[in-house]
Amino acid sequence: MDFLPVFMQLNGRDCLVVGGGEVASRKAALLIDAGATVHVRAPELSNSLQDCLDEGRIQHRNGPFEEADVNGMTLVIAATDNAKVNAAVHAAATAGHIPVNVVDAPDLCTFIMPSIVDRSPVIAAVSTGGSSPVLARMIRSRLETMLPSAYGRLAKMTADFRDKVKDRFDKPADRRLFWEHILQGSVAEMVFAGRDEEAVKVIEKTLASPDAVQRDMGEVYLIGGGPGDPDLLTFRALRLMQQADVVVHDRLVSKEVLDLSRRDAERIYVGKERSNHAVPQEDINQLLVRLAKEGKRVCRLKGGDPFIFGRGGEEIDTLAEEGIPFQVVPGITAAAGASSYTGIPLTHRDYSQSVVFATGHLKDGSINLNWQALAQPNQTVVFYMGLVGLSTICEKLIEHGMPADTPIALVQKATTPEQRLFTGDLASMPDVVERENIKAPTLIIVGNVVKLHDRLNWYDESAYWAVAKD
């Protein structure tokens, strides 16, 4: 180990930053965050340092560095682009046995600054001993995705209970067990989901009778798995997917997304083919209830966003009725995915001031929609589940006043390597669909924004095809 990691208490202590540029400004900001009294020595200040000065967050020593500047300092950082000045700062600080860091000059450092993930009071620090700052930053960004932003609140909450837990359990091993139970179980999840009060109550209850609450009631995470590309999952979705005991998934969830759930989790498929309901909705609702009552953490994984044509509302309604804890994690809905990955913005100041999401699902051969409202100018209409009813949709829109040459796009398997885009107008599109071998799921976008595809498209699914063929 070349360096010993330590965390320094700088609250209220004097620290010196030599240099007035952007790098100096970043270092000063960190010291300010740590509560230090920051003195900046520089003949000139960058805009951000000037702002700090105006806000009274730093003290400015105008003019060039002087040896005496280091007197009384707890820590010194040199961030100038002048090697001579940096060396002088180093010499003065080391003469006074004051820790010193010279930016980009490892030989002149008696301490180095790690890349950090700040979830105060939780701090994760990564250092490569100065050998590869880029690698340190990459590791840091991986940690960023693993540490929920609410870790800090969770840590503060446990601090509030430390004394009580000490009073309650004499043996350190018992205390450790208690905290493991709290931090790995539903309490932590409650804090991450912003339900702090509830979490405090559970901690209190567990403290009062630790044996009685050995087995938690399970919980259901209703998670939006996005349109297909696994990169589009949220951090929260990924984290919950990786801790769930059971995954209940739909046909629309891509294999790549599903593969990100915990390896040893049980998987239950409840997919619905069109007009062939594999598992009736009511049975799915009851399945979730049963699994949660068995104490399992259940990931109910749905395509896109659970609250957009996802029947997510019905599923959690049953859970709410049964008093089962649940949380909902939003996902990228197919409209957003298809729009981005085809370069068709859903709104645009020149073409469309509003966007409507509608279902084109046929019930008894008719689509029950307010066509008048959908056929408005300067509006984008997105149809989910519209492939089978496409010709009716085009017909009805024209009938209600939309010009027959209004552009329309049909996006197959958006955001996946099998994405394909078909464009045309309301009059011609039904023929296109008849001619082509189109695979579900597809999304339909109607409106002048479709024209933007030619200029704004950036996604080239053929690149993936080339890789797949190799």
Of 79, 154, 413, 433, which lies in the binding site for ligand SAH, with binding defined by CB under 6 A?
Answer: 413
301 binds ligand SAH (CB under 6 A): no
Distance CA 377, CA 366 (A): 24
Of 309, 326, 351, 371, which lies in the binding site for ligand SAH, with binding defined by CB under 6 A?
Answer: 309
384 binds ligand SAH (CB under 6 A): yes
Q: Which residues contact 377 (CB under 8 A, 6 or more apart)?
A: none
Q: Are 301 and 247 in contact (CB under 8 A)?
A: yes
Distance CA 39, CA 60 (A): 6
250 in active site: yes
433 binds ligand SAH (CB under 6 A): no
Distance CA 232, CA 237 (A): 10
Tell me how crowded residue 86 is: count the other CB atoms within 10 A of its CB.
22
Distance CA 410, CA 1 (A): 58
385 binds ligand SAH (CB under 6 A): yes
Number of residues near ligand SAH (by CB under 6 A): 22
**Where in 324-383 is the site for ligand SAH (CB under 6 A)?**
333-334, 338
Catalytic residue (one of 250, 302, 396, 413): 250
**Least gap, CB of 465 to ligand SAH (angstroms):** 17
Angle at 398 between CA 394 and CA 404, to 5 degrees: 85
Instruction: Please state whether 39 falls in left (phi above 0), alpha (psi between -120 and 50) or beta.
Output: beta
**Least gap, CB of 340 to ligand SAH (angstroms):** 12
Residue number with CB closer to ligand SAH (205 or 274): 274
Of 20, 330, 424, 441, which lies in the binding site for ligand SAH, with binding defined by CB under 6 A?
Answer: 441
148 binds ligand SAH (CB under 6 A): no
20 binds ligand SAH (CB under 6 A): no
Q: How far apart are the first and last CA of the chain?
A: 44
Catalytic residue (one of 245, 272, 425, 451): 272
In the DSSP assignment, the letter for residue 12 is T
Residue number with CB closer to ligand SAH (189 or 315): 315
The token pair that represents 205 in the structure block:
């209850």
272 in active site: yes
- Packed helices 196-208 and 172-184: angle between N→C axes, nearest 10 degrees: 150
The interface region with ligand SAH, picked from 10-18, 40-48, 209-217, 410-418 by CB under 6 A, is 410-418
**Least gap, CB of 389 to ligand SAH (angstroms):** 11
Q: Are 90 and 71 in contact (CB under 8 A)?
A: no
Chain positions contacting ligand SAH, by CB under 6 A = 227-228, 252, 302-305, 308-310, 333-334, 338, 384-385, 411, 413-415, 441-443
Catalytic site residues?
Answer: 250, 272
